Amino acid sequence: MLQRFHAEVDGKMLTGAAAFAAMWRVLPLLKPLGFIARNPLVLRGLEALYVRFLRVRPKIQRWTQRHIA
């Protein structure tokens, strides 16, 4: 469960871009983006970006640990 972002909404478990979109819908500044992400095509595109991000996240984490810590 630690590899992807998870959120529970109305008893339903969401992962990845869908979970981020659910979180955005409760944050005033990001609420419009969260509602736009309800569109299946938009959500599919965000999920594709999220999957790409997951591939480079370990490298980003290693870099930040070396340079920020």
* Measured torsion, CA atoms of residues 49, 52, 53, 56, in degrees rounded to the nearest 10: -160
Tell me the C-alpha distance between 1 and 10, whole Å: 19
Model pTM score: 0.80
Q: Angle at Cα 27 formed by Cα 65 and Cα 69, nearest 5°?
A: 10
Task: Copy the structure tokens of residue 54.
Answer: 């997951």
Query: What pLDDT sits at residue 69?
Result: 65
**One digit per residue, pLDDT tens: the chain, 69 residues?**
458 999 999 999 999 999 999 999 999 999 999 999 999 999 999 999 999 999 999 899 899 999 886
Query: What pLDDT sits at residue 1?
Result: 47
Query: What pLDDT sits at residue 12?
Result: 96
Task: Copy the structure tokens of residue 4.
Answer: 């992807």
Query: What pLDDT sits at residue 14?
Result: 97
